[in-house]
């Protein structure tokens, strides 16, 4: 079982294409990429992790930026 790997930003598309190429050539086990997430914007990271680990985690960590301690 692989830890989730998150790739964010403009370089995610070429990296995703390269990994797809390696997989299609049989050079890499496709299971390596089951936990890879390619994200355009940082705001998507939270939702992606919630989907990966399950929605029960979402309730614990759902906080707003203007929340005070």
How confident is the model over 17-46, as pLDDT tens digits? 888 888 889 887 877 777 777 777 766 777
Q: Report d(CA 42, CA 19) in Å as an integer.
A: 21
Look at residue 56 and tell me if it is in a domain.
Answer: yes
Look at residue 66 and tell me if it is in a domain.
Answer: no
Look at residue 67 and tell me if it is in a domain.
Answer: no
Look at residue 68 and tell me if it is in a domain.
Answer: no
> Is the pTM here over 0.75, yes or no?
no
User: What per-residue confidence (pLDDT) applies to 23?
Assistant: 86
pLDDT category of residue 1 using cuts at 50, 70 and 90? low
pLDDT category of residue 50 using cuts at 50, 70 and 90? confident
Look at residue 31 and tell me if it is in a domain.
Answer: yes
Domain count, the chain: 1
pLDDT category of residue 2 using cuts at 50, 70 and 90? low
Q: Which domain holds residue 31?
A: 5-61
| Mode of pairing for the β-strands spanning 36-39 and 5-8 | parallel
């Amino acid at each position: 079982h692989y830890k989730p790997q998150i790739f964010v930003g403009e370089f995610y598309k070429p990296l995703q294409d390269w990994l797809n190429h390696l997989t299609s050539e049989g050079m890499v086990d496709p299971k390596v990429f089951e936990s890879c997430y390619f994200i355009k914007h940082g705001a998507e990271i939270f939702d992606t992790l919630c989907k990966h680990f399950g929605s029960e985690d979402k309730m614990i960590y759902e906080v707003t930026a203007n929340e005070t301690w």
